[in-house]
Structure 1
Amino acid sequence: MPSDGDGAEDTVPSMLWGLDPLHGVFAKLYIKDILQLDNSQHVPGVFFYKTHPISKVDILGTIVQKREREKLFSFGVDDGTGVISCVLWKKRRPMEGPKPVASPTIGLNLQEQLSRITMLEQHTSQLELGDTVQVRGWLRDYRDQREISCTSLSKVADPVFTAQISRMLQLPHLYRTFYDQTFQLTTDSTEPNDQRVRILSLQRKIKQFLNQNGVKNFYQQELETINSLAFIAQQDPVSPCVQHPPQPSQVTDEDKELRSLTLGVIRDDSRRPKYVDKGCPFLHILSCVQHGYSAGVNEATMQRVLDRLESDSQIVSTMERYYMAS
């Protein structure tokens, strides 16, 4: 597998990754480059092409492998530079029962919606070897193999290779103009360039302190009592270190209690009739953890825990921000 992207991560703090336009889009990359992306050492589900953090991709290629399992379709897609596995999860439907009667005032026909889902699955199952498809989805490593968890997978009617030629012309321009350019933070007169250096220095010091002291959770106010950390923060003329009221508890990847509680919530609640079809929604999991562990667990922390559980194959995402136990 690719090496860890610690060098790339040190270039820009993770809190500023969102400023890179490539972090929030479906990046169009060659498959060979997707397979060689560096893993983020600290944030599961994020990968690096040079200095750019990437979590979602868009590819165009030919189906060269096809498998259907109980819960998913798996396609091997080849763009001429490499082959990558693309996983499309089936939408779980409730058991057959009395047909719902459409209400003329509401206008929602549940039977019609189920029929549409069935048609979409049938369309996906009819994809054959040799079909050209466009795939969009989230990158992940599963059992040491790079794959795409699809948010969309559609057949491209391209008898004269128009789409493939267009992609071949587009990709070199994207690489030259964006991907191969180093991502740099812009600065102005109110934010001197050396402030970024202090932010990076403080970030490294905090990581070092947490690792050396085996800290599993903490309050922001507690970090402000550490002289070596406070000294760096006080050097910042824009955001001086001041005393704050206690902030919500933060956690680290070593907090096994939080991971265990989160996994228990997903295992138990994904069996409930309310969640058996799609899995547990993110906000439900967050609410349960906040009640059972700490009200200080925020969305970013919860997402990090879920990504870690998924990378360890303990849970799977059935659709965006819905989870169930493996």
Structure 2
Amino acid sequence: MLIEKAFSTQDVLVSDRLDCWRDHVSRTYTAEVESDQAVDFAASQRILALGAVRLWTVEHPSMSLRRTQKLIRQSDPGLYHLSLPLTGTMSYRGPDHEADYERYDLVLHDTSRPHLMRAVTSYGEGTVSGTGLFVPRKLLPLPENAIDGLLMRRLSGCEGVGALLAQFLTQVARDSSSYRPDDGPRLGTVAVDLLSALLAHVLDADTSLPPETHRHALVLRIRAFVQQHLHDPQMTPCTIAAAHHISRSYLYRLFEDEEESIAAWIRGQRLEHARRDLAQPALRTTPIHAIAARWCFTHAADFTRAFRRAYGMSPREYRSFAHPPQ
């Protein structure tokens, strides 16, 4: 099970629940809460640890949350806060921007900037609910001045990469007991990659941005595409270039400034996924050659050599190391 912290006002007297929620928000987010529902304020929150990233879920009556410049000076964690409303509606008001959001709109804002958030129940719904992420700003591999233009902007969680991100958030929150604590950092990496890919997709259409930002955004979109197609043995630099309407030579140039060539990175990603499968208790009896083939290594000897170069031992030795005799 993922490392989790849970909080609920159900554990205190009905008359004290709003004050209890205010105290909780003040300690965890350093913000002021107001609500017309002063009696029986039934609210709950879960926070799941995904390495440096935190995935949160929340359910509460209609309320407003204000983070002022004074409160920011008291506590500034330097985070991007991503929200995905699931029931109810939400609005954000900042010094120079305001917008309203419906369910399955993704919205990003910066905890270092003052804002007022209002969350209101919709007709026929008793509570507002949602999920989202707290992500350290330094983890997003895009220039902050480019991301600034996307703060408090409505991003769709119903199509494309936004839908993948929304599905990821809701699925991890729903099935958190099916993961192990050491899965947390890996899931955090997936969350950051999906969020980065979504922002890169939006930025790529902005012609006012400098060429370097567009280049970085394209690389992120290519990486997301590769992750989605790692199982496909037909995925090659040629097919990747065609899918992104660029030449193969330009694809190679894009990765000249990266740590690895595109081909080496794909191979490394496939090896890493094979390594994870070898460590999975549920796949302990699956033949090694079947796991290798799943990640497009069709020749056992080639897989063994590549695995040994990457991890210093053979796949069989690694599986024995990952599953010691009881």
**Which TM-score bucket, shorter chain as reference?**
under 0.3
Greater helix proportion: 2
TM-score by length of 2: 0.22
TM-score for both structures, normalised by structure 1: 0.22
